[in-house]
Amino acid sequence: MTENHKTPLVAGDLKQRILIVDDDPNIVQVIEQALTFKGYSTRSTTAGEEAVRIFHDEGEFDVVLTDLILPGISGIELLEIFKKQDPTCEVLVLTGFGSNDKAVEALKKGAYDYLKKPTNIDELFIAVSNAIEKKRLSVENISYQMDLERLVEERSWELVKTQKFVNSVLEGSTEYFIIASDAEGQITLFNSGAERLLGYQRSEVQGLNAIQFFADPAAREESADLESFFKDGMIDQTHIVTTRNGREITISLTVTPIWDESGNIVGYTWIGKDVSDALALQDKLKEYAQNLEKLVEARTAEIQERNRCLEETINQLNSTQMQLLQSEKMASIGQLAAGVAHEINNPIGFINSNLSTLKKYIVNLKDYCRGTDRLFDNGGPEALEELRRIKKFKKIDFILEDVASVIEESIEGTERVKSIVQDLKDFSHQDKGKLVEYDLNNSLKSTLNIVWNELKYKAEVIQDLGHLPLVRCYPQQLNQVWMNLLVNAAHAITDKGQITVRSYQTNDDVFLEISDTGSGIPPENLKKIFEPFFTTKEVGKGTGLGLSLSYRIIERHGGSIEVQSQIGKGTVFRVRLPIQGPAEHAEGTPEPPGNDSALIDRIEPVAQLVEPEEVGA
């Protein structure tokens, strides 16, 4: 026995395996070689019992070629065994001359075809190919039947589940009643919701006309049909119905026709719910709404009166606030005036002294000039001697030498006065609500000049001013900030200290720092220093609006103020300002920082704490 394997040339999912059974080894060899050459996988034997074992153990043979006459077990018996074990296996029987009856018997018992010995190879190929095709069709048919049976089973189960779901929905919908009827209105379904609502059992209503539950009594007496009942449509219509116990209820009813494939009405579904409580609630809501409208009108009048009183209070607060702001500004002006007067008094004093000296010089020069005139008029040695005496006595040589110095000092004094007056004018000049490009270094120098009298006795002022571009700002508003910070720095120094003014640029911003070596700010006060009316000064010596004003001004310039302070070492205020100035409003005009009407609100500080500090505010 031999087994040859070769990749089948025939397409399909079958393995193309063939079992050959014949007691003549020569016939087996010829058939096996032919089929192997054709691309089939073969297995062969010369004994019937061995063929049964091979078929049972190896299985999955598509075609069996067997001789009808075999020793021990016949080809007919083999056919019956093979067909019983694998009904899809096709059997071709080989028969000699004179055994046609056996071949016919084999065909009746399920053989696919028979071949006569000696076998024609072409007929063999055709018979084997047709047998394999028949098996393929049989396998496909069995697979199709199995798929069909499985599909039928699945669809049946789905229908069962759908039916169970529909029934659960119908029976579980206790809030809604659901009734189904045929085209004449005879009830075919009456769910538990309908039983609960109408008070009837479904066994009592089978065969009744559904319209009797919902039509008015006159319609029932006239035996109105469904067509007249539905003439105006039936979607969420309210009806009054009487239950079995005689109670009248209001329902919302929707009736929908059921159509068949031909477009004919075969029935109706009646779905609705009891809306009696809902309608009663609506009536109560209408009553509540009317009462609420009256209440709203009364409360609106009350609120309007309160708003009027509140507006008056706000106006009074604004007036008080403006008075406080004006008080702060007047205190600053008074402080400046005293300092400026002191600063102007010094140069005015030595100018006055120089003018008195010049007056004496002029008197002496006049006497010397008269002596010169007498010398020209009279001549002689006596006049010349008198002129020499006058020149020596009047110190004409000293006067001529000193007068230039006196005049120069007086000019310097007037320039000093002029500078102070100009800085004061710049400081107090109104911004007129327009942004201008301004040199902040000049702004700092001008403010230093104005408050110099406040600083010079308390601190050494160090200026470390870097190169700054022109900044779009309100200069006079910023002057107010510099003045507040510089004066606070001076007040923070007890005896003699140092105040450093520094400026620099970083990217699109400029920074101005004012630091002092004063007493520092206690940690508990550090977060309050920008709040309106907060001050650590004695009563009557400060309004507490200086830093609050400064914060608002810088904030409205689009900048920020940071403060770092350490007790006993001093404080640093760092002001950041954008070079391009504050962002503009939608109208295109930035809000001028001079409007301080919002200072009544609490202003949260933008203080970054590195260590606890203070400015002597």
**Predicted confidence band of residue 229 (pLDDT cuts 50, 70, 90):** low
Which region holds residue 199: left if phi is over 0, alpha if psi is between -120 and 50, else beta?
Answer: left
Calpha distance 216→251 (Å, rounded): 13
Mean pLDDT calculated for residue range 184-200: 83
Residues linked to residue 239 through DSSP beta bridges, in sequence order:
251
Strands 459-465 and 497-506: parallel
Question: Which is more confidently placed, 92 or 174?
Answer: 92
Residue identified by tokens 């302070």 is 565
With DSSP H G I counted as helix, E B as strand and the rest as coil, what are the percentages for the chain, rounded to 5?
50, 20, 30
Residue 490 burial (CB count, 10 A)? 22
Q: Which helix (H) or strand (E) holds 242?
A: strand 237-242
Q: Residue 63 burial (CB < 10 Å; 0-12/13-18/19+)? A: buried
Strands 63-67 and 41-45: unpaired
Q: What confidence score (pLDDT) does residue 504 get? A: 94
Calpha distance 393→402 (Å, rounded): 16
pLDDT reading at 573 higher than 90: yes
Cα dihedral 424/427/428/429 (nearest 10):
110
Q: What confidence score (pLDDT) does residue 587 get? A: 38
Q: Which of 254-258, 425-429, 512-516, 530-534 has the lowest mean pLDDT?
A: 425-429
Are 40 and 84 spatial neighbours (Cβ–Cβ below 8 Å)? no
Are 166 and 257 spatial neighbours (Cβ–Cβ below 8 Å)? no
Residue 391 burial (CB count, 10 A)? 17
Q: Which two tokens stand for residue 421?
A: 């007056």
Q: Which helix (H) or strand (E) holds 572?
A: strand 570-578
Calpha distance 596→281 (Å, rounded): 55
Calpha distance 300→579 (Å, rounded): 50
The CA-atom distances, in angstroms, between 85 and each of 44, 290, 487 are 19, 90, 115
Q: What is the mean pLDDT of the chain?
A: 77
At 438, phi and psi to the nearest 5? -140, 150
Residues linked to residue 303 through DSSP beta bridges, in sequence order:
none
Strands 90-95 and 63-67: parallel
CB contact set of 176 (below 8 Å; sequence gap of 6+): 193, 271, 272, 273
**Predicted confidence band of residue 135 (pLDDT cuts 50, 70, 90):** confident
The CA-atom distances, in angstroms, between 47 and each of 18, 20, 52, 107, 407 are 16, 10, 9, 22, 153
Mean pLDDT calculated for residue range 8-34: 76
Calpha distance 616→135 (Å, rounded): 109
Mean pLDDT calculated for residue range 459-486: 88
Compute the Cα dihedral for 317, 323, 325, 327 and give only its sign: negative
- pTM tops 0.75, yes or no: no
Are 603 and 481 spatial neighbours (Cβ–Cβ below 8 Å)? no
Mean pLDDT calculated for residue range 54-82: 85
pLDDT reading at 516 higher than 50: yes
Q: Give which of 142, 19, 29, 3 is closest to 91, Cα–Cα.
A: 19
**Predicted confidence band of residue 371 (pLDDT cuts 50, 70, 90):** confident
Q: Where do the DSSP E strands lie in 155-194?
A: 176-182, 187-190
The CA-atom distances, in angstroms, between 369 and each of 358, 372, 497 are 16, 5, 56
Q: Which two tokens stand for residue 278?
A: 């809902």
Calpha distance 516→458 (Å, rounded): 11
CB contact set of 282 (below 8 Å; sequence gap of 6+): none
Mean pLDDT calculated for residue range 331-340: 61
HEC string of 57-91? HCCCCCEEEEECCCCCCCHHHHHHHHHHHCCCCEE
pLDDT reading at 39 higher than 90: no
Are 164 and 158 spatial neighbours (Cβ–Cβ below 8 Å)? no
**Predicted confidence band of residue 196 (pLDDT cuts 50, 70, 90):** confident
Peptide bond connecting 523 to the previous residue in cis, omega within 30 degrees of 0: no
pLDDT reading at 617 higher than 60: no
Mean pLDDT calculated for residue range 419-437: 65
At 411, phi and psi to the nearest 5? -65, -45
Q: What percent of the chain has pLDDT over 70?
A: 77
Q: What confidence score (pLDDT) does residue 287 get? A: 86
